[in-house]
Amino acid sequence: MKEEMNKLKALTVKEGNDILRNKIYLLVVLVQVFILLGAFGLALASSVASDPALLDEYGATSVLKVAVPETVKGTPLDTALIDQKLNITYYNNVTVAQNALGTGIIAVVKVDPNNSLNISVDSDNSNIFYPIVSSKISAAVNQYSIEEKLKSSGVNSSQIQQILSPVNLQVIVYNMDKQSKLALNSPFFVEIMYGFIVPFILLLPFFLASNIVTDSVVGERERKTFEVLLMTPVSSSQVMLGKIIPILSFSMIQSMIWILLLDLLKVPIYNSVPILLILFFVGLAFIGIGTLLSMFVDSTKEANSAITIVLVFATFVLFMPLFIKTTYFSAILNFIPTVLIVKMASTPNISLEMLIYSLPTVLISILIFMLTIRYFRHERAIRL
């Protein structure tokens, strides 16, 4: 038994050293860091850019430039627009203001001199902040319109304020010590991070692992060392484990590092141990599929093409359910690994039901691994 373990250890160390000497693999690991940071930054920026409250909170309203007629200055409409924290500039010539659209000015407000309630807006729809500016102008105009109509009906200022703000809402927050230290308190940020980016980042090392194992198997064949490996007094199971263990271990280590990095970025990942177990079996399945494909092809180019097709299909199966919001398929979607990762990562509480839903992933992965070993034995028998 000790001798068998030594053989497995030697083969594992040899495969691990081959991986570490592969500069492309090390570069890919570094690229993953930039992908994670880039995805986080994009989610952060897009969340702020799409949320008026966040723009106001972070003082980024200087980019919300709106041109307003000089005649409006100091009027209730002007006050309403300023209350929306828009960056107001005043113009005397509407043509000049319209020509400035797209060069910093996002919208031009036009007011009919004969009817102050007849207001129109010209907007630069190509600007990323156009939706926010549009919603802020609409809110300001609606407030101004209501105030003017109430004034014309003889309602005084204090009554107008009571009508516009009939409820005094006071929010009392409990359990502040248990509050999640999230990078951005935004529904969009939470949805995009936990609903897509977190499972994508954590699965990325295993996607790449399937490419590495194909290169390992086919590379042995191209280097004319595959037959030599088959003739060594090492069982087929040990050969497969010797190739799989280093790749799977490196992928698991990467996912653990990404979890720690996300936590440093204030995107806490709950239930990391169950998540890593799911990732382990998903990675085992990917590596098993990569090994199986390697036995059907004769060159690295063919292997990479085949595994790319498989990964495209796997990406569709794993990530499409994250964007399907329907109760009709919920019974099936709950078994998808990415759905389980999203649920486990986003809540501190894990239910027994989630663990049961993970069983098909475990069983399928073990089945693929056993099939890989069986076919490898068959391949070994033919070649020898």
Residue 346 CA to its chain's centroid (Å)? 13
Residue 294 CA to its chain's centroid (Å)? 31
Mean pLDDT by runs of 10 across the 384 residues of the chain is: 70 75 80 91 84 74 87 87 88 88 87 85 86 88 81 67 66 69 83 92 88 72 64 69 84 93 92 93 88 76 80 87 73 86 88 87 90 73 46
The residues near 83 (Cβ < 8 Å, ≥ 6 apart) are: 140, 143
Distance, in Å, from the CA atom of 143 to the CA atom of 117, rounded to the nearest integer, reads 11
Token output for 20: 């570490």
State residue 281's pLDDT score. 93
Contact of 239 with 229, CB cutoff 8 Å: yes
Residue 227 CA to its chain's centroid (Å)? 43
Helix (H) or strand (E) holding 90: strand 87-91
Q: How far is CA 118 from CA 153, 335, 342, 362, in A?
A: 18, 56, 49, 65
Nearest to 198 by CA among 275, 101, 283, 97: 275
Contact of 101 with 94, CB cutoff 8 Å: no
State residue 382's pLDDT score. 44
State residue 381's pLDDT score. 46
Distance, in Å, from the CA atom of 57 to the CA atom of 47, rounded to the nearest integer, reads 13
Token output for 21: 């000497």
Distance, in Å, from the CA atom of 7 to the CA atom of 62, rounded to the nearest integer, reads 67
The DSSP-derived string for 329-342 is THHHHTTSHHHHHH
Distance, in Å, from the CA atom of 179 to the CA atom of 369, rounded to the nearest integer, reads 42
Q: How far is CA 23 from CA 32, 36, 224, in A?
A: 14, 20, 22
Phi-psi region of 337 (alpha: psi -120 to 50; beta: other; left: phi over 0): alpha
Three-state secondary structure call for residue 71? helix
The residues near 89 (Cβ < 8 Å, ≥ 6 apart) are: 65, 66, 67, 68, 105
Contact of 222 with 215, CB cutoff 8 Å: no
State residue 257's pLDDT score. 94
Contact of 201 with 275, CB cutoff 8 Å: no
| Structural Rg of the chain based on CA atoms | 30
Distance, in Å, from the CA atom of 139 to the CA atom of 160, rounded to the nearest integer, reads 16
For the beta carbon of residue 263, count every other beta carbon within 10 angstroms: 13
For the beta carbon of residue 105, count every other beta carbon within 10 angstroms: 22
Helices (H) and strands (E) in the chain, counts: 17, 4
State residue 224's pLDDT score. 64
Sheet strand arrangement including 65-69: 87-91, 65-69, 107-112, 115-123
State residue 263's pLDDT score. 92
Token output for 310: 């498989």
State residue 301's pLDDT score. 76
Residues written for the chain: 384
Distance, in Å, from the CA atom of 272 to the CA atom of 295, rounded to the nearest integer, reads 34
Antiparallel, parallel or unpaired: β 65-69 and 107-112:
parallel
Contact of 154 with 1, CB cutoff 8 Å: no
State residue 54's pLDDT score. 77
